[in-house]
Every structure is written in C-alpha cells, then in structure tokens.
Chains A and B, each alone.
Chain A
Amino acid sequence: MSEMKDMIVDVVERMLKEKVDKELVDTVEQGHWAPELWELLKENGMTDVAITEKNGGAGGDIEDLLNIVRLTGKYAAPIPFTETTFANYLLEFTNLQVIEDLATYMLCPNQAFSLENGKLTGEAIQIPWARHTKHLVTLANSTEGTHLVEIDLSQAEIKLGSNLAGEPRDTVIFQHAKVSQVSPVLSSDDVHAITTLHSAFQLALMTGAIDKINDLTVQYTKEREQFGRPIHRFQLVQQHIVQLAGETAIALAAFNNVTEALQMNNQNSEVAYARIRFEEVIQAVTTISHQVHAAIGTTHEHSLHQFTRRLWSWRDEGTSTSYWTNLVATQLLENSGDSLWEYLTSFSSNSPLLKVEG
C-alpha cells in the first residue's frame, strides 16, 4: 500500500464519516443528493484522482481512485462520484478530453445508441444519476463500429427511474443529438477492457458496502442483549459472525488483489474471479446480516437496508456475472495444453489493458 493511498483513504474516510449520516442517504430516495459533499471532495482534489496532471488531474492512480470509490460504497455517499470519475477515466483511456462537470456513463453494448454524422439517436435505460449530471459518456454504434462518445445531457429526454435502493436510474432518450466528442472505432479488446474497468469500479462499491454490513452486524451483536447477555455469546450467532467475517475477508482480499493487478497493469482474470465470487459473497452477507439484525433490520428506520438494498441493485447493474463465467470457461477451453494449475499460476499470458490507440 503506497503512503499516498493510505493518506487519501484516511482523508476521504474522515470526510465521509463526518458528513454522511443515515438521513443524508435517505434523501436520495426523495430525489435529492448531496452537492455540499461533492464540493468538499472536489475542493480536496478527490474528484480528479487518477486523471493525469497534464489533463488537469490531481495525480494518484487507479488504485487510489478505486479505494475512494470503495469508501463511497461503504458510506453509501449520495453523490455521482463513481459515475463522474469513471466517465473521466474512460475519456482519458480513449484519448478524449476530460470534463469538468458532473457526468455519468452507459456501457452496456446491447443498448448502445446509434451514431450517424456526429448525431446520437436511441434510448437507454438504468443510466445512473442522469437527472443530476450534465454529460453522458456512452457506447455508440456507427456504420464503422463501436465508439465511446461524450454528449451533453441537456439534449436528452430523461425519464426518472430508480433501483431497489432508490438510487436514480433514469431512462435517457436522444433524437439526432449532437455529440461533443467521439473516439476512434473500438476493437472488441477495447470494449472488453472498458467492461473490465467498469466491473472493477462496481467491485469497489460493493466491497465498501460489504465491509460496512459486516461492521454494522458485529456491532449489533455486541449491543443487542437477549436472555440476559449480548447475542454474540450464543454459538449459533457466532456461526453467523464467522461466516460473515469469512465472506467479508474474501471480498476485501479479492478487491485488493484486483486493484493491485490493475495498478501493475497485470490483470489476467482477477476481475472475472472476483465478480463471480462476489455473487456468493453478496448472497451470504445480505442474508446473514438481516438474520442477525432480525426484525429491526427490516425497517426503514435502521440503516442496514441502505447497504443491503444497494448490493441487491448493484449486482445486477452493468455486465452480468454470466459474461465472466463464460469468459473463464472459454479461456480454460482455449488453453488446451495447460493444466488448470498452470493456467491459474501463469504470468505469461498477461493481457494488459492498453489505452485505446489515438
């Protein structure tokens, strides 16, 4: 862990701890968000991490950024942080200009807009935070192939929607709207690289929420007394505590290994493994935490649902796990000569995520 990363993590965690409480997170469900929190992070340079300095960024790297994203997940911060920072990361990744204002993205290849003569047409659903943001970074198909484009959202018709956690997930409709920037045609490797990065950002958010759920649950077992003692003293509750700790430890270690692999541009299948394993983690963590919290955890008044509902939403957003199981299966099949052990431990088949050629 770099000293820089430790410092960033420390600063951001203190800010979020101080500024984000249950009530603030609740306001998302009424259609609001937390612009003051955004401004605070922006003033401290946290919204420009991992953008190179020549493009006006604050330095730092992908590992730093993913760790901030993890913290926004841990506190359910009601700001389009992932959306804006990842949109900018992708713009730089494809050699386009980064942007100042709030932004979001649409990276699902099968709902790509159509692009003709610099104009965008089509409809995409479940766009995070579209109503609150000014720019959309999206996949678009032209006659030549798939591009990444950036477009001003003021030209869009936006229909409001929300996910299971009440976070904004809007429908965006364009009719011959003028795009601001277009990337060259992306290869299928480029699109896969974008998908991989997107999943890494989602893993970061999910890791934060999983960590928080574990904290909330352990704390609850110490505070809640029944039969004259705290419930962590009961062996059947201890079994829940251990299973939860195990899944949380797996998630944290998986996340750390993913970020390190991305940081060293040495990513083979770590994102795939992590994404596949997180399905089981999320199922276990949400079930166990609610069981331990019992009735109070099922109320809106308690904060547990702010994290469990997010996990139930996030796991179905973006690329589905079947993409990753299919990828691993195909790799195994194509690695015909190698044993599984050679495949798992090989570093010769590195597939670094190369920046898109300019």
Chain B
Amino acid sequence: MFQLPTVQFTQEQEQFRLDVRTFLQDELAKGTFTPKCDSWLSGDDPEFSKLIGQKGWIGLTWPKQYGGQERSTIDRYILTEEFLAVGAPVAAHWFADRQTGPLLLRYGTEEQREYFLPKIVKGECYFGIGLSEPNSGSDLASVSTRAEKVEGGWIVNGQKIWTSNAHLCHYMVTLVRTSPFDGKSKHAGLSQLIVDLHAEGITIVPIKFLTGEHHYNEVFFDNVFVPDSMVVGEIGNGWAQGLAELAFERSGPERILSTFPLIDELIQELKRQNNLEGLQQASKIVARLWGLRNLSIGVAQLLESGNGDDVSIPAALVKALGTKFEQSIPEITRLIIQTYPTLDAHRKIDRFMAESILHAPGFTIRGGTSEVLYGVVAKGVVAQ
C-alpha cells in the first residue's frame, strides 16, 4: 500500500492560518458574506473574489513575476481549508486559481502567463472548465467538439455541458478534438484551447440546478474563432495535459469540507443543548474527517515535493472517499438532532441541512464520478 507523507505545520503556517481566519471572521462580522455549504460551487461573489485578490490570496503558490506569492502548496492548503470551513463565497475565482493557473504555468506560453495570471490573482478574471459534453460524461475522451485549422487560428464548433459558473466566467479552457479519431487511440488528437466566452458564436444557456439555482450551463460554439495564441501547450497533447490537472483537482480540502459548515453547526447545537450523547455520536464524524484530512494533506505534500506521477492514484482515492464522507453528513446529522431543512430557514442548521441535502448528489459526480475513480484506483492498486 502506498505511504503518504505526514505534515506538521510550521509556526509561520499556523500564524498564516490565524491571519486568514481573523480576516474571514472580521468580514463575516461586517456582513460581507453569508456562510453556506458547498460555497466553492454556489458561493459566487466577484466582489469577495476581488477582496481576496487584494490580500494576495489568489495564485498564492505562483511566481511573483505573475503576481503570485511563491508560497508552498501546504500554505495554499491551509488557505483553502479556512475558506471552506467558514463557508466563504470563493466560487467565482475558484477554477482559475485551482486549475487554470497551474495549467498555464506548466504548459502555457509566456504571453499567456503574462496576460492571464496577473488578472487572475486580482480576482478579476474567471475561468470555466470545458470538459463534459452531452454524450461525453465519464467517457471523456469521446468528446466531439471540434476545432478546424484556419489562417491564424482555429474554428470551434460543438457544445459543452455542466460548465460551472460559465455565465460568470470570462474564459473557458476547452477540450476539443483537433484531429479526427484515428480508430486507435481516443486520447490522441485532443487539444486545450482558451476560449473567450464573450466571443462571437458563443451561446451560454443556464441549466437550473435541482434547487432552482443557476450554477451549471450549456455552452454552444457556432464557428467560434480562437487565435493560435490561445492554444494551451501542444496541439494533440490535450489529454495528457488535462490528466496533469486532475491531481490538483481531485484531492484538495474541497473534497472533504463541502458540508463542513453543517458539521460545525451540529457541534455548536449539541453544545448548546449540553448533549453529551449526541457529541459522542458526532465524535465519529470528527474522527472520519481527521482520517481523510491526513490523506488529503499527504497528497498535497507529495505535490509540493514534485512527485506528481505518484499522486494520481491516491488523489483519485481521496476524492472517492472524501466526497462520500461529505455526502453522508446531512444523513448522519438528522439522526443525531431534530432539524427541519429549508433553504430560507431562520435557524442556521436548518439552512445548512437544506443546502447539504440538495447539493449532496453532485459531490460524487462532479470532477469524475466515483465509479470512474474506483476504476482508476483499482487498476493502480493491482498494478503495484
């Protein structure tokens, strides 16, 4: 079985955690935001993103020349934990910070880095991730949105779906087929293009979430021109480049903490009730959370030390286990205390319950279904 490193936070890191926490508590007291569960999907607030950007907390690990802070992956882990633990609205800049930045730093051109990264760190430039299509969900390599070479660029036609917050985003890193399926490798002939979502030929259509909220979208491409300068990495290398993003996407605290505000409120409620028996039951949740956090931080440490190749299997495992955990929280909570979940509830715990119940089905689907992840992990374990 693979061994993940342990992490002991330094004093500077502990201090950083407290600084972030103090800032968030102050903003909370000022009424800048309302905490919610699953805030990294549903908490879109460009003003808050700009505030975070002013603090230097977007692109924390990136080089200073692009506006980053050159801090460690563990520092970013701490920052992300603090945002999610309090349920802060970090959705607007989320994907640009988590995925697009690292992608451009690894595969982007100098021009792309200089253009996009400083805007991203200011909290002013948001990216969507264009992967799924109506007929390409788990079988992602079957995407059929295509780009044809023309003078100076590419013409894109097709459709993406389930694009989180595309209606708020400025750009989308889009996986397209740049050469037809050769009958052998479905992974060949795929490329990543940065598409301007305000370009001519783009239509964004909301898909209402089951709560009635607008997070997901369909994005249609009708002869959209994308200049050559917006190709990420190499033409035909899109699959490999996309896989490299996955370790960042799959193993972070957001795969464990999406329902943390509910856990916290459950504990507070039990404390108010002086309910020792309830707290004993809740201690199992805390123990599970601790166990998962050990794994998730271990993967972050591996990413920090640059052993990216060893990371994909544990990262997939963390997502499969973590999302199952966050999904289970409302079900456990309602058996420990009486709740009445409604989205406009006066009592915080009832609102968090409502948000958690209604968002829970998505946890084990978005970013790779558990079934796909299980396949990845099983093959990895057997090959060891």
Contacts and interface: CB of A to CB of B under 8 A. Distances in A.
Interface of A: 211, 214-215, 218, 221-222, 232, 235, 238-239, 241-242, 245-246, 248-250, 252-254, 256-257, 260, 264, 266, 270, 272-274, 276-277, 280, 322, 324-326, 328-330, 332-333, 336, 339-342, 344-345, 347
Interface string B318-343: 00110000000000000000000000
B288 interface: yes
B185 interface: no
A48 B276 CA distance: 42
Contact of A245 (B3, B14, B267, B377): B377
A277 B317 contact: no
B314 interface: yes
Interface in B47-97: 81, 85-86
Given A277-B288, A333-B276, 8 more contacts: A235-B374, A239-B374, A242-B377, A254-B290, A273-B286, A274-B290, A328-B283, A332-B286
B365 to A, nearest CB: 17
16 contacts: A218-B384, A241-B378, A242-B373, A245-B378, A246-B377, A273-B286, A276-B283, A325-B280, A325-B284, A330-B279, A340-B263, A340-B268, A340-B286, A342-B21, A344-B286, A347-B9
A147 to B, nearest CB: 31
B6 A256 contact: yes
Interface in B222-273: 260, 263-264, 267-268, 270-271
A345 B85 CA distance: 11
A277 B290 contact: yes
Contacts of A332: 267, 270-271, 279, 282-283, 286
Interface of B: 1-4, 6, 8-9, 14, 17, 21, 81, 85-86, 260, 263-264, 267-268, 270-271, 274, 276-277, 279-284, 286-292, 294-295, 298, 314, 317, 320-321, 373-375, 377-379, 381-382, 384
Given A273-B286, A325-B280, A329-B282, A341 B374 contact: no
A40 B78 CA distance: 46
A160 B13 CA distance: 54
A235 B375 CA distance: 8
Contacts of A222: 382
Nearest to A322: B280
Given A222-B382, A250-B291, A254-B294, A245 B317 contact: yes
A317 B277 CA distance: 23
B6 A329 contact: no
A249 B276 contact: no
Contact of A341 (B2, B264, B277): B264
A218 B384 CA distance: 10
Contacts of A333: 271, 274, 276, 279
Contact of A238 (B264, B286, B374): B374
A94 to B, nearest CB: 28
B292 A347 contact: no
A181 to B, nearest CB: 36
Nearest to B267: A340
A221 to B, nearest CB: 7
Nearest to B324: A246
A329 B279 contact: yes
Main SS of chain B's interface residues? helix
B284 A276 contact: yes
A248 B381 CA distance: 12
A306 B280 CA distance: 32
B324 to A, nearest CB: 9
B378 A242 contact: yes
A339 B268 contact: yes
B264 A273 contact: no
Contacts of A266: 8
Nearest to B271: A333
B217 to A, nearest CB: 32
B363 to A, nearest CB: 16
B3 A232 contact: no
Given A246-B317, A250-B295, A326 B280 contact: yes
Contacts of A239: 374, 378
Contacts of B276: 326, 329-330, 333
Nearest to A259: B6
Contact of B291 (A238, A254, A341): A254
A245 B381 CA distance: 8
Contact of A242 (B3, B9, B264, B381): B381
A297 to B, nearest CB: 18
A260 to B, nearest CB: 5
Contacts of A329: 276-277, 279-280, 282-283
A238 B379 CA distance: 8
A245 B264 contact: no
B65 to A, nearest CB: 32
Contacts of B271: 332-333, 336
B111 to A, nearest CB: 41
A264 to B, nearest CB: 7
Contact of A273 (B287, B295, B373): B287
Top 5 closest A-B pairs, CB basis?
A329-B279, A238-B378, A328-B283, A276-B287, A253-B294
Contacts of A221: 382
A253 B317 contact: no
